[in-house]
Structure 1
Amino acid sequence: MRFLGPRSISSLLKTALDVVYFGLFGLIIGLVLAALCLLSVPTLATEVVTRLNVSAPLGATAQAAMLLAFGISLGGYLVIMHWTRQVFGTLAEGDVFHPDNTRRLRWIGFGLGGLEIFGYVARFLVVRFFDMQFEPVYGLRAVTTWFSVLVVFVLAEVFKEGARLRREANLTI
C-alpha cells in the first residue's frame, strides 16, 4: 500500500477530511440558525426545555450566547481542517515537501493553541457568570493538547528543512 500520491492512504485521508470539513460546516450553520431562533423567539427555548424534560438554568439569551461561542470554536476547527486538507492535498499529489506546507503547519499549531486558550477563557467566563461547574482542565488532557501543538510546530520545521533540501537538489546539476 502506498502512502503518498494518487490512490494512496494520504488521498484516502484527504477524502475523509473533505467529508468531515463539509459536515462541520453544516453543523456550524445549524448552530447559528439555532442561536438565531433562540434570540428571535425566546419562548421557544423554554418550550423545548419543558418538552425535553431537562433543567436549564440559563435564559434564552445565555443559551444563544453559548451556542454562538460553541459555533466560534467549531469555526476554529473548521479553519484548522481547511489547512489540514491543503497539506493532505499536496501529500495526495505526491508533493511531500511543498513550500506552503510549512506555513500551513505553523498555522495549524497556532490554531490548536488558540482553541485551547479559547477553551480556558470560555470555561472561566461560564463558571464566573453562569455559575456552572466543570471538571478541571489541567491534567492529562492539557498535557496531550499542548504536546500536540508542539509536535505540529516540530513537523513544520521538518517540512521547512525538507523543502530547503528539495530546493537545493533542484539546483544541483
Structure 2
Amino acid sequence: MRFLGPRSISSLLKTALDVVYFGLFGLIIGLVLATLSLLSVPTLATEVVTRLNVSVPLGAGSQAVLLLAFGISLGGYMIIMHWTRQVFRTLAEGDVFHPDNTRRLRWIGFGLGGLEVFGYGARFLVERAYGLHLEPVYGVRAVTTWFSVLVVFVLAEVFKEGARLRQEADLTI
C-alpha cells in the first residue's frame, strides 16, 4: 500500500477533501438562502422558533445574525479545506516537500487558531446578547484543538526543512 503519489492513500484523502469542500460550499449557499428567507419572510422566523422548541424567543434578525455567524465559521473551514486540498494535491502528485506547502500549513494553523478564537468570541457574544447558556469550551476539546494547531505549525517547520534539504540536493552535483 502506497502513501504518496497517484493511486495512494494521499490521493484518496485528496478526493475525500474535495467532496467535503464542495459539500461545505453547498451548505454555505444553503445558509445564505436561509438567512435571506428569514429576513424576507418574517412569519417564517416564528415558525422556525416554534418547531425548534427554543425557550428564548429569537426574532428574524437574531436568527439571521446567528446564521451569518455560523456561515462565517463555515467559510473559515472552507478556506482551511482549500489549503489542505492543495497540500494533499502535491502529496498525491508525489511532490512531498513542495516549497508552497510550508506556507499552506502555516495558514492552516493560523486558520484553525483563528476559528477557535472566533468561536470563543461568538459564544461570549451570544451568551451576553441573547441570554443563552451554551456548553463551556474548556476541557479535552479545547486542549485537543490547540494541540492540533501546534502540531500543524510543527509540521510546517518539518516541511520547510524538507524543502530546504531538497533544494540543497538539487544543487548538489
Q: Partner residue of 2:39?
A: 39
2:157 aligned partner:
157
Alignment of 1:126 onto 2:140: no
Q: 1:40 to 1:153 in 2, by over 3 A?
A: same
| Alignment TM-score, normalising by the size of structure 1 | 0.97
Distance of aligned partners of 1:53 and 1:108 in 2 relative to their CA distance in 1, 3 Å threshold: closer
Matches within 5 A, 1:16-95: 16-50=16-50, 52=51, 54-55=53-54, 57-95=57-95
Name the % identity.
85
- After TM superposition, where is structure 1 displaced by more than 6 Å over at least 4 residues in a row? none
Distance 1:134 1:150 in 2: 26
Question: Which residue matches 1:143?
Answer: 143
CA RMSD in angstroms comes to: 1.0
SS at match of 1:135: coil
| Residue correspondences, number | 172
CA offsets per residue over residues 107-154 of structure 1, 9 Å max, x none?
Answer: 000000000000000000001000000121111111110000000000
CA contact (8 A) 1:90 1:98 kept: yes
Amino acid of the structure 1 residue aligned with 2:166: R
Separation in structure 1 between the aligned mates of residue 49 and residue 80 of structure 2, nearest angstrom:
33
SS in 1 for 2:132: coil
* Contact 2:49–2:57 (8 Å) recurs in 1: no
Contact preservation (8 Å) 1:84, 1:108: yes
- Contact 2:97/2:166 (<8 A) preserved: yes
TM-score, normalised by the number of residues in structure 2: 0.97
What displacement does 1:53 show? 6.1
Give 1:36 deviation, angstroms.
Answer: 0.7
Helix, strand or coil for the counterpart of 1:136? coil
- CA, structure 1 residues 9+53, in 2 after alignment: closer, same or farther (shift >3 Å)? closer
* Structure 1: gaps (5+ residues): none
Distance 2:152 2:136 in 1: 25
Distance 1:108 1:48 in 2: 35
1:109–1:153 Cα contact (<8 Å) kept: yes
Measured in 2, the distance between the counterparts of 1:28 and 1:167 equals 40
